[in-house]
Every structure is written in C-alpha cells, then in structure tokens.
Amino acid sequence: MSSAIDKITSHFNKLVTNNLQEGYVEEWDLKFWFYPTYSIRDNAKASELMQQGKILEAVVENIITKAKKEDGSRMFRPADKSHFLNNADPKVVMKMAAIMNDADEALDAEEIEKN
C-alpha cells in the first residue's frame, strides 16, 4: 500500500513527466514549451511578488521559471528579467503568461470533472 506522500508525488509526476505543452506568441514569432503545472517551490518567488503588489514583475518571474525550450531546458535566465521589465511590450508579456495559465486552469477543470 502506498503512503499518502507517495500518492501525492505520483500524481505530480504524472502531470509533468513527458507532458510539455507548446505555446506560441505571434508578436515575437516565439514558440515556447511549458508544463501544465509547477511545484510550490517554483511558484514561491512569483507568489511573494504578488503579495507585495508587484503584479507584472510576478508575471515575468513566472515566465522565466516556466517557459522552456522544446528539449525541456529553460528558455530564459534570471538575468533576462530586466529585459522583460524594461524592453518588452507588457500586453505581449501578459499574453504569454495567459497561455501558460490557461493550461493550468484547464488542468484544474479536468481534475474537478474527474471528482
């Protein structure tokens, strides 16, 4: 019989193993990939920024953390944050984040339907 933590870990691993999803931002002609969910640790920095009222900075942090290349490696580095904040169209930044967040919301809806 599996322990509770084994069940929790197994569920999370099913969500992220071989489950890269593709996104595309037309304005930047940029394909990117992302997992449909992320660990609490991966979301911690963005959550902290949200609590401080730094909404766009939190969105950029999420993009840097979540956007991947097709091979699953990170697309952006932490040093790219200043480029997003100072040299990127905020509407397009929000669009990219929305693509990834819509996948999260779709996943949540699927889980609710199963229960």
pLDDT on residue 1: 58
Q: Which pLDDT belongs to residue 112?
A: 39
Q: In the numeric block, which tokens belong to residue 44? A: 């911690």
Q: Nearest CA to 60 among 27, 105, 21, 92?
A: 92
Per-residue confidence in pLDDT tens, the chain, 115 aa: 579 999 998 888 888 887 899 999 999 999 999 988 888 888 889 999 999 999 999 999 999 999 999 999 999 999 999 999 999 999 999 999 999 988 655 444 444 344 3
Residue with tokens 């322990």: 3
Nearest to 81 by CA among 29, 45, 40: 45
Tokens representing 103 are 């996948």
Query: How far is C-alpha 104 from the geometric centre of its chain's CA atoms?
Result: 8
Q: What are the beta bridge partners of residue 24? A: 31
pTM: 0.79
> What pLDDT sits at residue 2?
78
Rounded CA separation 91/17 (Å): 31
Beta bridge partners of 5: none
So what's the pLDDT on residue 51?
94
Q: Which pLDDT value is given to residue 17?
A: 80
Contacts of 84 (CB under 8 A, 6+ apart): 60, 63, 64, 93
Which CATH topology does 4-114 take?
rbstp2171 (3.30.2220)
